[in-house]
Structure 1
């Protein structure tokens, strides 16, 4: 994975589910050279999963290999950019975003939505299902780039502002159809049992200026919490292929930096908006496509909003930010916490407070897709030490400590006891009582993360809802109870294919005629021998060998040796090892569909030291990052 921006994501229990956006890959070869980044288009709207139980080192770990494709619905979906993913502790719903006019998949109607649900099984853990939902008549999915937040403890989700088309009509990417600011706050109530949810669409008051690409953060105070809208821009440049006009640039310059200085607040319980000025190290420029996470002191005397990255939103060629700022509430003081380097910056990424003291940064883009992200697709930032870490360990649960740079501004200690609990002046007297009231409901946490706890299983039965789609996927995959006949059939297929695996290796070719091992009959037209193999007597391969996935290079595959699947069915019984081969190439797609980066050291070369080549002397493709 080279870069990935404008995707949507949500932490569903111990797994981050990701979908949509613009994902770019970079291929490497056995001779050490690499290709320019390229996008696979993700025309089928593939879902990805990132288990939080997996530790990693950003310098040594195959970061792409931590992601798995799926769960995916049986019916292929269109790919959306700039959409939202709402959720609670059991399900998610996708909303909004842009489709590409050239997408091969049929786009859903203006009120059609897709959801995913974890259903608790009695003995098999979580069962994953997709379901179809719909919007009420006063709402449409034709909106993009809004500020979004989910509040699982309240079973609520919110969508603030964004961009829409004329008359709330259809919008697509690369045609400037999403050219009007959406002056709305959309609320989703996830309490309702079943597929149809309760939505509410309300117009923003005139005092609250709408925008795109803002961050919407929920703060646990008062009866149901407070929403805090930070940053954003009036007109994001990436929605206008020909660039912003002079009037749009002037408007952005006038308002965008003020979105960091004057903060919009929404009291959920009272359905009321406020404005509050901030002080301190106010970020000097407008911020778009950045990320945020919240960390509260143990005694609740301060709630600290960390923001990272982003860019001005006006010029795509400008380098993204690599700085971290903290907005401490209720003092409403900005503190600059980290000074980064320009090349490490990113925009269009997502942040998750996966541990009390750590922020996980996923994806992003540096300037344009031709640049791969420095440091990789994943980064982890210490909220305590205020620096990027090289390792992530799911078992290392360290409590949050208010950093010294914050306590110097608001008083108190690492555990709390802030002495400055109010700004220089309140924008409204009601805000004092709002932030002075304690939030009493419990907030679920899922750390420390454990593979055994995170295990889910697919079910052979469908949900009781008529429009549900069975996921047929496991996060992470485990072998549960399988119908005996299917199990026996799968075992035979796997045995045959594993036998063939001993004789075929990706990226290596021998064109000399000779006897073929019987398993080669599954690959008509090949006469492949490994280095040192004589007359069909193969050299045994290593016990473990990294592989490249079928889904990464789907456009390059030759004819399959075995029929490929025609649906996104990812049950364990339907996923035998598949080999694709012709006279030049051999690829392997593992059953868990892991995305694996390879290096030249992982391959055996001929005894004369020459690296493996295809029959025309071309380089053998090995890896995609």
Structure 2
């Protein structure tokens, strides 16, 4: 019986290995994940994923428990001209796997922090972060391939753990998080309905000090927060998403012409009106920022999201150029209103200050079963600068030889100057809401040099196209999808064990027992010789993308990324798609496999865009009228009162949350 049990166990293991899901090769679509870039590695953590060859109405999204990575420095050397994704980094069962969180990258100390996000259920929140444990800020060490908790700081006691807010990191090593929802699946102290937040949280990566302020009494979520090196100490820019309606007390879309600006050195919060091609209101989009060489313009690129009363999935691209505060529609032109492959909850990451990699997204059009560029992990490439003019396409596979941002003709035509800057439009068309902003934007911030708080390898290892050997710490969520060769080898071991047992029985060697050798862990490949090194800091931001201007590292863009076509893969790079209704609610539980109410179908049939080839014909719909521009005023500093539950949490986007 013991021998039979042993054989059964080995056979079960072989079958499990053969039928397991590969977290990179078998994923059909992914969304609600969080990302960041450190040096040449782009990390993808958490979120939800659909597996299989297509996504049907009965498909159920599964939680992604793996930490994925890809080398963004050698995309052109891969089969499909996009970075290969790997799932061989450590991530124990005790490390959270959440949706709608943010990764704060510390590019100087080679760490990133996981803040906020939702768990699968309330039980998990209580077991991980309940009253006995308290909230834990986890971080991942990219040098040693290890997860750890930060030591608690007294200032952390007042910090709550929201989800679906927006985050960014300054070049001074200060991480920021704004708004979001407190739910019973993100915060163990929250009971009942989700509570939208209006708190700006900050975390000093060097001192481990937390802080929080309420600068505005309007609660917000699902917008974008970006850091730009303007004024005396940098500035934060926030726009979009949903917010509390001051009239009804419920939820409404934020006016995309209202841009909220926070000055770091002179802590004040302002609202400035933007003009131009105002995007339709939306939430769940992703964005990233780059700027001209002379910092005469800071250009925030926005992709996709969910918009309209029915939660239509969007697939368009806009740029908000600052300090002229002009919105510029860059794709598709002319403007279109129907997007068959429109989606939200993607991630946007800026690479080498010149390109953006958009990963995944939730498609609201249930009539489209196709996977999202499955052979390249749902990735789509966007050229941000003048290269798009030279190659006659915004959508293109990553280019290894393109570094630095050259302001493209489409933006220069609106703000003046040239590819290297010298913009002539230096203030909003409607004027400054206050002369304080005129003064702040007349100054550029050179950045703050930081020194690593720990020894850093004398030569930071550069990832290669092939994944590193297994780390000493085994991944407790070990990849189930083994290779065919591995299965054959395991079956061979089973046959050998069976043969040996039978032979010994025939020899009647009664007292002899065979033992399987114990597996031993290999050496940790992430332990190079260390030497203290002073490292210049780079600025990063979230919202959708963290920007990392380090000389040796591509720019980073925190959580959220856009779009290619969701049709079968044809070997090309992808451009985003366009449309559909019934976007999921951001702050409800997500156990259903549907994006929205059953039976929603695309009403128009448009060709799906290919990665970097000319987009499909534009529909004939006339563009929607822009939102009216209303002058805004400076918002007073409202000192942090307790966050009260909203009187009414009406979701402007009907449908179940997935």
CA distance in 1: counterparts of 2:498 and 2:58, whole angstroms: 33
> What residue in structure 2 maps to residue 84 of structure 1?
102
* Alignment equivalent of 2:197, drawn from 168, 182, 185: 182
Tell me whether 1:20 sits opposite 2:46 in the alignment: yes
CA shift in 2, pair 1:368/1:167, >3 Å: closer
> What residue in structure 2 maps to residue 264 of structure 1?
260
Tell me whether 1:280 sits opposite 2:276 in the alignment: yes
TM-score if structure 1 supplies the norm length?
Answer: 0.62
* Alignment equivalent of 2:128, drawn from 107, 123, 136: 107
CA distance in 2: counterparts of 1:343 and 1:570, whole angstroms: 49
SS of structure 2 residue aligned to 1:431:
helix
> What residue in structure 2 maps to residue 143 of structure 1?
162
Instruction: Give the conservation status (yes or no) of the 8 Å contact 2:283–2:306.
Output: yes
For residues 422-461 of structure 1, the aligned pairs below 5 Å read: 422-424=427-429, 425-441=431-447, 454-455=461-462
> What residue in structure 2 maps to residue 46 of structure 1?
66
CA distance in 2: counterparts of 1:37 and 1:235, whole angstroms: 34
SS of structure 2 residue aligned to 1:361:
strand
CA distance in 2: counterparts of 1:351 and 1:413, whole angstroms: 26
CA distance in 2: counterparts of 1:436 and 1:524, whole angstroms: 79
> What residue in structure 1 maps to residue 558 of structure 2?
none
Deviation string, structure 1 residues 282-334 (Cα, Å, up to 9, x no partner) = 11x22111111112112211111111111127545x3x211111111111011
For residues 212-231 of structure 1, the aligned pairs below 5 Å read: 212-231=221-240
Instruction: Give the conservation status (yes or no) of the 8 Å contact 1:226–1:268.
Output: yes
Instruction: Give the conservation status (yes or no) of the 8 Å contact 1:26–1:35.
Output: no
Instruction: Give the conservation status (yes or no) of the 8 Å contact 2:219–2:244.
Output: no
CA distance in 2: counterparts of 1:50 and 1:348, whole angstroms: 20
For residues 244-259 of structure 1, the aligned pairs below 5 Å read: 251-253=250-252, 256-258=253-255
Aligned residues: 446
CA distance in 2: counterparts of 1:396 and 1:37, whole angstroms: 43
> What residue in structure 1 maps to residue 146 of structure 2?
129
SS of structure 2 residue aligned to 1:504:
helix
CA distance in 1: counterparts of 2:414 and 2:264, whole angstroms: 29
For residues 418-497 of structure 1, the aligned pairs below 5 Å read: 418-424=423-429, 425-441=431-447, 454-455=461-462, 476-478=467-469
CA distance in 2: counterparts of 1:69 and 1:213, whole angstroms: 28
CA distance in 2: counterparts of 1:104 and 1:55, whole angstroms: 38
CA distance in 1: counterparts of 2:187 and 2:307, whole angstroms: 28
Tell me whether 1:68 sits opposite 2:86 in the alignment: yes
SS of structure 2 residue aligned to 1:381:
strand
Instruction: Give the conservation status (yes or no) of the 8 Å contact 2:122–2:185.
Output: no
CA distance in 1: counterparts of 2:60 and 2:88, whole angstroms: 18
CA distance in 1: counterparts of 2:331 and 2:517, whole angstroms: 53
* Alignment equivalent of 2:304, drawn from 300, 303, 309: 309
CA distance in 1: counterparts of 2:295 and 2:448, whole angstroms: 14
Deviation, structure 1 residue 475: 9.3
Deviation string, structure 1 residues 322-360 (Cα, Å, up to 9, x no partner) = 111111111101111111772343210111111222111
SS of structure 1 residue aligned to 2:145:
strand
CA shift in 2, pair 1:313/1:563, >3 Å: farther
> What residue in structure 2 maps to residue 379 of structure 1?
380
CA shift in 2, pair 1:96/1:573, >3 Å: closer
Deviation, structure 1 residue 14: 1.5
CA distance in 2: counterparts of 1:564 and 1:351, whole angstroms: 44
Structure 1's consecutive aligned runs of 4 or more residues displaced over 6 angstroms after TM superposition are 34-37, 102-105, 562-566, 569-574
Structure 1: segments with no counterpart, 5+ residues: 29-33, 119-125, 237-245, 445-451, 458-473, 483-496, 507-516, 526-561, 575-598, 600-625
Deviation, structure 1 residue 399: 3.4
CA distance in 1: counterparts of 2:492 and 2:49, whole angstroms: 40
* Alignment equivalent of 1:389, drawn from 389, 395, 416: 395
Instruction: Give the conservation status (yes or no) of the 8 Å contact 2:99–2:117.
Output: yes
> What residue in structure 2 maps to residue 10 of structure 1?
36
* Alignment equivalent of 1:191, drawn from 206, 210, 215: 206
CA shift in 2, pair 1:266/1:35, >3 Å: closer
Deviation string, structure 1 residues 16-73 (Cα, Å, up to 9, x no partner) = 2222111112248xxxxx9888557337x32221221341599x6397x822224324
TM-score if structure 2 supplies the norm length?
Answer: 0.60
Tell me whether 1:204 sits opposite 2:220 in the alignment: no
Give the number of the structure with larger relative contact order, counting CA–CA contacts within 8 Å between residues 6 or more apart.
2
Instruction: Give the conservation status (yes or no) of the 8 Å contact 1:146–1:214.
Output: yes
Deviation, structure 1 residue 235: 7.2
Structure 2: segments with no counterpart, 5+ residues: 1-26, 451-458, 473-481, 500-515, 527-568, 570-658
SS of structure 1 residue aligned to 2:439:
helix
Tell me whether 1:346 sits opposite 2:357 in the alignment: no
CA distance in 2: counterparts of 1:167 and 1:74, whole angstroms: 20
Deviation string, structure 1 residues 489-530 (Cα, Å, up to 9, x no partner) = xxxxxxxx99x9499399xxxxxxxxxx965615869xxxxx
For residues 569-584 of structure 1, the aligned pairs below 5 Å read: none
Instruction: Give the conservation status (yes or no) of the 8 Å contact 2:98–2:119.
Output: yes
Deviation string, structure 1 residues 582-623 (Cα, Å, up to 9, x no partner) = xxxxxxxxxxxxxxxxx9xxxxxxxxxxxxxxxxxxxxxxxx
> What residue in structure 1 maps to residue 407 of structure 2?
402
CA distance in 1: counterparts of 2:273 and 2:522, whole angstroms: 51
